[in-house]
């Protein structure tokens, strides 16, 4: 009897609950819409009253933009407002394309100079060189202009003319250039590390990144490579579909690469490989570091999850968020975070919890104790919540303070420029190194130039002295402190000897860039790269690579 009564009342009760649930859902939605409408109305009313009553004239465009940007900053760093006037810059970021002369401009305090002409584009083809000081663009004097203003003058519709006047040492030179469509290469350099090992530097994930990587790999294979290093260091990411296509070069058709999951159904999507791989067996090492983010982490993470590559370097950035560009009125846009992404093992690499950060008022990261374990295809344990951990961690190179100072003070930059105009051409950036005589000339070049600095030990002693004074220990240890300071005070001349090898490497790379531009600087740096050395350890010992990729925690 109880059972019958129970069944009689369950269905009506369930119906009531469903109706109430629907009402609650409808009410909650209405409440959100009312709150949204109310606040929009308040904002519009506030702007009207400010425009009418504020004591000075207000710039409504500027004020509203500041308000929007402040509001979006509360969400996460990737949700951005893009007004109409910035839409071209945004398009360039996502496509890597613009129309101009193809040169990176920078300001050194005494004016704007050419930092890097891009190979094969108008500025470089016409003979504009690194360190040329910009004087005018057409009839506009640019010596007092900001870098952004100069860049804007250099850009323009493709196939239009622009005259650029520069100062090079004591000479004033003018160049008549024709603006062209500039497509910044996603692969600024590729080559061979040795007879059998290829290397591809992938700098960005803009349009055609996967096509460029494919072409580079095909070319290297035609040269007889049998193993590959894919360098994703300092690559902040970009287009998800390009990341999927790059993974597809190395893993079979039909495999899941990344899954996006958000609040709305239309942002939920599973990306799979759709093509036959270019090479599913070539031994592969992927280099990552703390700046490798987003699409870089999708590529590195997917290849790690399928045990297809050994990862070498440093833990990646930890950006597991996906952004979508949405159109607004008056040709404005908003780039908004719409989903999180999950790589094949099921883990999300997002390191910062922005929802918790908003509540606590400070950046909240996922604690190690809450990071979850996942498994790769071969059963290796990998963790979520804090970027991609490399299979072999390489400690970051620590440069001496004197090296930082010489670079920051532009002394190495200036010496490389002087070297370029006084010497015979460099033949190969991979083999080029400055001579002992060159280094002696550099030391003489520094004579009379300011490049003072504080060493790590000196800084530690300064901190100790401050704490001692605060805690009344200073008088007791003053003599000992002075004795230690007199022993560790740096000697610039001695530091130029002690850190000579490191400084020579930096100078060699800077000089290589004068002859071979961006490609030369990258190629030269490979000669002294600890990550490359670690990668070669695996590619020269395939048994080590296999054991690493099959080492299960079980």
* DSSP letter (8 states) at residue 56: S
**206 and 240 in a common domain:** yes
Mean pLDDT value across residues 214-223: 98
Residue 63, domain extent: 32-73
**408 and 345 in a common domain:** no
The total domain count for the chain is: 4
Residue 417 pLDDT grade (very low, low, confident, very high; cuts 50, 70, 90): very high
Residue 386 pLDDT grade (very low, low, confident, very high; cuts 50, 70, 90): confident
**331 and 405 in a common domain:** no
pTM for the full predicted model? 0.84
**257 and 118 in a common domain:** no
Residue 71 pLDDT grade (very low, low, confident, very high; cuts 50, 70, 90): confident
At 87 the pLDDT is 76
- 392-393 β-sheet, strand order: 189-192, 197-201, 227-231, 284-288, 310-313, 392-393
Is 373 part of any domain? yes
**405 and 385 in a common domain:** no
At 481 the pLDDT is 66
At 489 the pLDDT is 59
**Out of 214-228, 254-268, 448-462, which region has the weakest mean confidence (pLDDT)?**
448-462
Active site (annotated) includes residue 319: yes
At 441 the pLDDT is 96
Query: Residue 444, exposed/middle/buried by CB under 10 A (0-12, 13-18, 19+)?
Result: exposed
Residue 480 has pLDDT above 90, yes or no: no
At 507 the pLDDT is 96
Crossing angle of helices 60-73/2-53, nearest 10°? 150
- C-alpha dihedral, 196 to 119 to 525 to 496, nearest 10°: 150
Residues 310, 548 contacting (CB under 8 angstroms)? yes
Q: Of 76, 132, 305, 529, which is the active-site residue?
A: 305
Q: Which span out of 23-27, 271-275, 354-358 was modeled with the highest average pLDDT?
A: 271-275
**138 and 48 in a common domain:** no
302 vs 463 pLDDT, higher one? 302
- Among candidate residues 160, 183, 206, the one where a domain is terminated: 183
CATH code for the domain of 298: 3.90.226.10
DSSP character string of 451-471: -----HHHHHHHHHHHHHHHT
**380 and 247 in a common domain:** yes
At 84 the pLDDT is 82
Active site (annotated) includes residue 357: no
At 192 the pLDDT is 96
At 130 the pLDDT is 95
Is 69 part of any domain? yes
Active site (annotated) includes residue 360: no
At 11 the pLDDT is 42
The pLDDT tens digits for 143-183 are 999 998 999 999 988 999 999 999 998 899 999 999 999 88
Is 82 part of any domain? no
The pLDDT tens digits for 101-129 are 999 999 877 789 999 999 999 999 999 99
Which H, E and C letters describe 111-151, residue by residue?
A: CEEEEEECCCCHHHHHCCCCCCEEEEECCEECCCCCHHHHH
Residues 173, 165 contacting (CB under 8 angstroms)? yes
Element housing 181 (H / E): strand 180-183
Is 376 part of any domain? yes
CATH code for the domain of 161: 2.30.42.10
**168 and 270 in a common domain:** no
**234 and 138 in a common domain:** no
Is 425 part of any domain? yes
- Among candidate residues 155, 183, 211, the one where a domain is terminated: 183
Q: Of 151, 210, 294, 316, which is the active-site residue?
A: 294
Is 517 part of any domain? yes
**360 and 285 in a common domain:** yes
Residue 526 pLDDT grade (very low, low, confident, very high; cuts 50, 70, 90): very high
**349 and 264 in a common domain:** yes
Residue 474 has pLDDT above 80, yes or no: no
Residue 433 pLDDT grade (very low, low, confident, very high; cuts 50, 70, 90): very high
Per the prediction, the chain carries an average pLDDT of 87
Q: Of 145, 201, 259, 319, which is the active-site residue?
A: 319
The pLDDT tens digits for 287-339 are 999 999 999 999 999 999 999 999 999 999 999 999 988 898 888 898 999 99
Is 471 part of any domain? no
The pLDDT tens digits for 23-68 are 555 565 677 788 888 888 888 898 899 888 888 898 888 888 888 8
Residues 191, 429 contacting (CB under 8 angstroms)? no
Residues 550, 538 contacting (CB under 8 angstroms)? no
């Amino acid at each position: 009897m109880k059972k019958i009564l129970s069944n009689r009342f369950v269905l009506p009760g369930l119906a009531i609950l469903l109706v109430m649930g629907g009402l609650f859902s409808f009410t909650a939605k209405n409440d959100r819409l009312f709150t949204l409408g109310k606040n929009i109305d308040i904002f519009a009313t506030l702007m009207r009253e400010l425009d009418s009553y504020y004591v000075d004239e207000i710039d409504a465009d500027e004020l509203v933009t500041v308000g929007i940007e402040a509001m979006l900053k509360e969400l996460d760093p990737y949700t951005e407002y893009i007004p109409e006037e910035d839409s071209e810059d945004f398009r360039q970021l996502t496509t890597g394309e613009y129309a101009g002369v193809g040169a990176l401009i920078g300001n050194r305090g005494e004016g704007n100079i050419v930092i890097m002409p891009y190979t094969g584009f108008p500025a470089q083809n016409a003979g504009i060189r690194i360190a040329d000081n910009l004087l005018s663009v057409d009839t506009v004097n640019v010596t007092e202009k900001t870098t952004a203003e100069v860049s804007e003058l250099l850009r323009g519709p493709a196939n239009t003319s622009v005259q650029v006047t520069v100062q090079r040492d004591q000479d004033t030179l003018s160049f008549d250039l024709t603006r062209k469509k500039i497509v910044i290469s996603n692969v600024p350099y590729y080559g061979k590390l040795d007879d059998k090992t290829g290397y591809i530097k992938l700098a960005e994930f803009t349009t055609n990144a996967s096509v460029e990587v494919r072409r580079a790999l095909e070319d290297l294979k035609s040269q007889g490579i049998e193993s590959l290093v894919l360098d994703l260091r300092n690559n902040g990411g970009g287009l998800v579909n390009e990341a999927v296509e790059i993974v597809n070069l190395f893993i079979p058709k039909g495999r899941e690469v990344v899954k996006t999951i958000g609040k709305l159904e239309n942002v939920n999507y599973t990306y799979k490989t759709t093509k036959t791989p270019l090479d599913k067996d070539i031994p592969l090492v992927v280099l990552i570091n703390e700046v490798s983010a987003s699409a870089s982490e999708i590529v590195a993470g997917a290849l790690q999850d399928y045990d297809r590559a050994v990862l070498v370097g440093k833990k990646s950035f930890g950006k597991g968020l996906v952004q979508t560009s949405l159109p607004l009125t008056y040709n404005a846009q908003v780039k908004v975070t719409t989903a999180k992404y999950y790589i094949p093992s099921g883990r999300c690499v997002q390191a910062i919890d922005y929802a918790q950060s908003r509540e606590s008022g400070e950046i909240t990261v996922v604690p190690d104790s809450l990071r979850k374990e996942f498994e790769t295809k071969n059963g290796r344990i990998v963790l979520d919540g804090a970027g991609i951990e490399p299979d072999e961690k390489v400690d970051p190179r620590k440069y001496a303070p004197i090296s930082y100072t010489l670079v920051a003070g532009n002394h190495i930059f200036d010496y490389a420029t002087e070297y370029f105009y006084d010497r015979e051409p460099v033949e190969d950036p991979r083999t080029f190194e400055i001579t002992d005589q060159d280094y002696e000339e550099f030391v003489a070049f520094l004579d009379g130039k300011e490049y003072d600095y504080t060493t790590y030990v000196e800084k530690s002693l300064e901190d100790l002295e401050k704490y001692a004074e605060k805690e009344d220990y200073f008088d007791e240890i003053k003599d000992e402190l002075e004795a230690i300071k007199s022993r560790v005070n740096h000697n610039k001349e001695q530091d130029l000897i002690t850190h000579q090898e490191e400084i020579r490497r930096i100078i060699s790379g800077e000089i290589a860039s004068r002859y071979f531009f961006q490609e030369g600087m990258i190629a030269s740096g490979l000669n002294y790269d600890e990550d490359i050395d670690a990668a070669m350890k695996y590619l020269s010992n395939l048994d080590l690579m296999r054991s690493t990729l099959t080492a299960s925690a079980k």
